[in-house]
Structure 1
Amino acid sequence: MDPYDSDYCDDGDYCDEDDYYEFDHHDDCDRRADVALTSRNGSSCKVITKECVSTAQREDLQRVMDLLSLREHQARTLLIHHRWDVDKVFQVLVENGKDRLYNEACVMVSNDSNVSSKNRSSIVLCEICLEEVPFYKMTTMDCGHYFCNTCWTEHFVVKINEGQSRRISCMASRCSVVCDEDKIRNYVSKKDPKLAEKFERYLLESYIEDNKRVKWCPSVPHCGNAIRVEDDEYCEVECACGVQFCFSCSSEAHSPCSCQMWELWSKKCQDESETCNWITVNTKTCPKCHKPVEKNGGCNLVRCICGQPFCWLCGGATGIQHTWDSIANHTCGRFNEEQIANTKRAKIEIVRYSHYHSRFKAHTDSLKAEIIMKEKLERKIVKMEARELEIKDYDWVRNGAKRLFRSRRILSYSYPFAFYMFSDTFLSDELTNLERNIKQNLFEDQQQQLEGHVEKLSHFLEQEFEEFSEDKVMDSRMRIIALSKVTDALCKNLYDCIDNEILLHLRTTINIAPYRSMGADKAVELDK
């Protein structure tokens, strides 16, 4: 287990940074941290490995089969229709009744008395191939339609090859009842065993692909695991392989950014769209060498470094001679005043983007450097243990580092959140400039407090305290514990500010993963 995976005690008390020596009650913090960690491992967030997908699927199937007395393929059809949400199936059953539940999912619960009782040896016409065959060579589905086994087999093969194997419907005209998977499996395996295996794989993978509460871990290379959550779709989870990600959008954990904000920010950073916007607004392409040219004077006749003169208004090539009102060999009408307004807007936007991006990058770079600090801190612990100080337990070092990593990550993602939340265009129809400014000031107050304490915590952890005297080691211990406690409280305050001040009364729903003091919800492996 990662030695940085525990945390200091959390009794809910807020601690001022000056109260470093008020922490005698934290001597048992590591014992209580173990209790908190044990409680956390009881989370409903589960890792589904390749080997236990079938087990996880069987649990949900069995619940529906037991409640409604259905066969497996009928229960599977219901669950696929409702994205494997068992609670949703039960809700529709209670609200709309069994008949509507079945009809909406294209499930037909057949009654043996309704199935044709023709003599097995009688000759029947198959309405698909128009061949007359003995009835024992025909197959009847739940809906009561029957066709020859050869036609059924070809129908199943085509649908599986088309990737529609999760819901293969009856061949009869205007009949959408889903076919019995046991019959599909039986006929396809006789003709093409490999295709039958593909069909089985599709049925298993539907539990993950169609299930809103299950997502593949986005690790690269892929670890092969999936994660299942029971309650909140908007949360951050950690796979057994160590990858933390947003369950809603499967990208890296990005709270307090919403998924939409993070998608926009990632694209903006990747495309450097603001730089492109600046170039577009402030430069014109040379008609000869096609390089961007910026005008540095008031005259609308400009010359590229390649020597080509051209008109700044329209970009057309011209002669070099010009007067106050005309340019040789060229005319394009009047100057466009909109160009000036566009330039001003572009300058403001690029400065604003640079402000938020520089701070986002600074904190993400700091986080990368601080994570590397893990090994260095372990060496410090080894040195202090070798000195045989009175302090026997050094988990306060690991806990402080873990708190630093979590808080730094939250702080870095708070800047993209602020960039979009307080822009003139994002939610422009819901917030006045005054309301936006008030909310921004409230948020930035919390953000700056958190930033200051994160930097202090980083400073104390980077000190060479393994070389300090025992009294100074004790002092460092108290400072790190206190700052860890305060930083945790400030992270929570930041999220409370977002929930209760920033997003309050907005008509637009902005879903943000809630703050978890212990970090992303660690998934535990589902029992096989």
Structure 2
Amino acid sequence: MESLVAAQKEVLVRVMESLSVKESQARTLLIHYQWNVDNLFAVYIDRGKDSLFKSAGLSVFDHPSLSKSRKKMACDICMEDDLPSQAMTGMECGHSFCNDCWKEHFTIKINEGQSKRIACMAHKCNAICDVDVVRTLVCAELAEKFDRFLVESYVDDNKLVKWCPSTPHCGNAIRKVRDDGGEVECSCGHQFCFNCLGESHSPCSCLMWKLWTKKCEDESESVTWLTIHTRMCPKCSKPVHKTVGCNLVTCICGQYFCWLCGGATGSAHTWTSISGHDCGRYKEDKVRQTERAKRDSDRYAHYLHQYKSHTDSSKQEDELRKIVREKAALVTLKTKDSAFKTMDWAINGADLLFRSRKILSKSYPFAFYMFGEELFKDEMSDEDREIKKNLFENQQQQLTGNIETLSKILNVSFDEYSSDELKKMRGETRDIGLVVNKVCKLMYECIENDLLGTTQDGINHSISPYRSEGIEKAVEFLC
């Protein structure tokens, strides 16, 4: 918490000195502008101090303090009209009420979690109360709670600072260095998307990833399978699975019905027709719907299989990173060759393998939605969609092949290698690493320019940029 307080204080001082305002005023301004100092100063320069203060609920002019010469005063909240001036408190907006009413007002707001912007009690007055006055009038326990809320507002209202969503929670609030809404890594090792706080999912957009995870978790996929492969008996309504080619099926309840349309029939039939039964147009529509559902299910199964396969591989390669580090440490300890006193090339290669495999696994949910009809149905013609799909699949194949090659190079007992064998492995690791990095970069350029960049809705599907050095390490505040 101390580091959060220090970071918050640094920003407060900057605003206080630049605008010549009190700390409570600077805090109210920063909370209103979500701790974005640049935006705050831009409004100040463009519109002036009066407009800046008014937008944040601050009084532009200092109203005179309560006259202590007046012996008795009235509170318009509790209607007490025989109060000493010491029992009254006025805010910068000019409204004054008794301390007991203020205290009750502040207590309610703090307990409701509205500490950041407690407004004046006066009717239609939106002025924000001075935080120093709030601290003075509430009890010590509430004052501590109030201050904690104010400190946490630096995280809750700041688009560049967020709590790490790790489970269990590591207790870190982290600040993003780049304002690009990309992916970050906390000092606890947890990597996540700074926009949606989900796991790192590039090259999927946040919406794609949200839809994909919901689809994977949704039990309706089993319902889809039943829709495709079974029919409901028209008599007992139980699902029936057809195991032979004839379209006349019999339920265990004894009811005969047509597999094509689901209508009840008698038992007499030939290979081409069922006696006294004609499916008609409705059944043809049902067949088309069934075929469409089966095609969609098969398509989903393909992308899901690829996604899961590469996700499983990425978990194994995360373990490989640890193994490579251990082997690299052994090599540096026992080698007499000065060229291998550092094994960064092996460690970097394992890290690249892990990162690129994760990218490859997430590229399949991206392709599922990019070339499907759920998000971009009207954005591409069928011909254009097929061309772009083939282009992207070629890049996926290139990336897959090079990743497998890098994995094969690193999955060896190189801690037992001779110097010559290590030199050969180092060259191969660096060479294939350059290729993997290049293919990843080209895939992202394709997504940003040739795929999402050509759609009208692409602006709503921004993706985290590719970085050859890996996911950005965030600045953390230990709490």
Quick check: TM above 0.5? yes
Q: Which of these residues, 218, 223, 230, is aligned with residue 283 of structure 1? A: 230
Of 399, 422, 428 in structure 2, the residue corresponding to residue 479 of structure 1 is: 428
CA contact (8 A) 1:234 1:511 kept: no
Cα deviation digits, residues 119-162 of structure 1 (max 9, x gap): 44432221111111122211111110111111111111111222
Asked whether 1:182 is paired with 2:118, we answer no
Structure 2 SS opposite 1:245: strand
Identify the residue that residue 84 of structure 1 maps to in structure 2.
Answer: 35
Identity rate, percent:
50
- Post-superposition offset of 1:279: 2.2
Q: 1:166 aligns with which of 116, 124, 127?
A: 116
Check if 1:145 corresponds to 2:95: yes
Residue 71, structure 1, aligned to residue 22, structure 2: yes
Aligned to 2:374, which of 414, 418, 425?
A: 425
Give the structure 1 partner of residue 365 of structure 2. Answer: 416
Q: Cα deviations across residues 149-201 of structure 1 (Å, max 9, x unaligned)?
A: 11111111111222212111111111010111111111112xxx322222121
SS in 1 for 2:138: helix
Q: CA deviation at 1:306?
A: 5.9
Q: Which amino acid aligns with 1:353?
A: Y
Map of 1:38-57 to 2, 5 A cutoff?
50-57=1-8
CA shift, 1:312, in A, is 6.5
Taking the aligned partners of 2:415 and 2:7, their CA distance within structure 1 comes to 49
Letter aligned with residue 60 of structure 2: V
Partner of 1:368: 315
- Does the C-alpha gap of structure 1 residues 288 and 181 become closer, same or farther in structure 2, counting only changes over 3 Å? farther
Q: What is the Cα deviation at residue 405 of structure 1?
A: 0.8
Structure-1 separation of matches of 2:157 and 2:216 = 32
Moved more, 431-440 or 293-302: 293-302
The one-letter code matched in structure 2 to 1:219 is S
Cα gap change, 1:126/1:422 in structure 2, threshold over 3 Å: closer, same or farther? Answer: same
Return the TM-score normalized by structure 2: 0.89
Structure 2: distance between partners of 1:104 and 1:256? 39
Separation in 2 of the partners of 1:212 and 1:342? 45
**SS of equivalent residue, structure 1 residue 123:** coil
Rounded to whole Å, the distance in 2 between the matches of 1:437 and 1:499 is: 18
- Please identify, of 204-213 and 119-128, the stretch whose mean Cα deviation from structure 2 is larger: 119-128
Give the match for residue 521 of structure 1: 472
Alpha-carbon distance between aligned partners in 1 of 2:224 and 2:429, rounded to the nearest angstrom: 45
CA contact (8 A) 1:313 1:335 kept: no
Change over 3 Å in CA distance of 1:402–1:146 after alignment to 2: same
| 1:120–1:136 CA contact under 8 A, matched in 2 | no
Determine which of 174, 198, 211 is the counterpart of 1:264.
Answer: 211
What is the DSSP-based 3-state SS (H/G/I as helix, E as strand, rest coil) of the residue aligned with 1:514? coil
Post-superposition CA distance 1:230-268 (Å, at most 9, x none): 432421111111111111111111111111111111111
Name the residue aligned to 1:340: 287
The within-5 A match list for 1:6-21 is: none
1:200 maps to 147
Select the residue among 406, 412, 430 that pairs with 2:355.
406
Q: Residue type of the partner of 1:173?
A: H
Residue 209 of structure 1: how far off its partner (Å): 1.0
Q: Return 5+ residue gaps in structure 1 as ranges.
A: 1-49
Aligned 1:218-297 pairs, distance under 5 A:
218-285=165-232, 291-295=238-242
Distance in 2, matches of 1:151 and 1:222, equals: 39
Q: More displaced, 286-295 or 252-261?
A: 286-295
Change (3 A) 1:301 1:502: same
TM-score (norm 1): 0.81
Q: 1:108 is aligned with what amino acid? A: S
2:157 is aligned with 1:210 = yes
Q: Find the aligned partners of 2:69 and 2:161 in 1 and give their Cα distance.
A: 46
Query: Structure 1 residues 306 and 61, CA, compared in 2 at 3 Å: closer, same or farther?
Result: farther
Amino acid at match of 1:459: K
TM-superposed CA distance for 1:387, in Å, is: 6.1
1:101 counterpart (52, 60, 67): 52
Matched, 1:392 2:340: yes
CA RMSD of aligned residues (A): 2.9
Letter in 2 for 1:441: N
Residue equivalent to 2:455: 506
> Do 1:277 and 1:346's aligned partners in 2 also have CA atoms closer than 8 Å?
yes
Counterpart AA for 2:289: N
Which residue is 1:454 aligned to?
403
Contact conserved, 2:260 with 2:287, CA < 8 A, in 1?
no
Q: For the Cα contact (< 8 Å) 1:275–1:350, is it kept in 2?
A: no
Unaligned runs of 5+ in 2: none
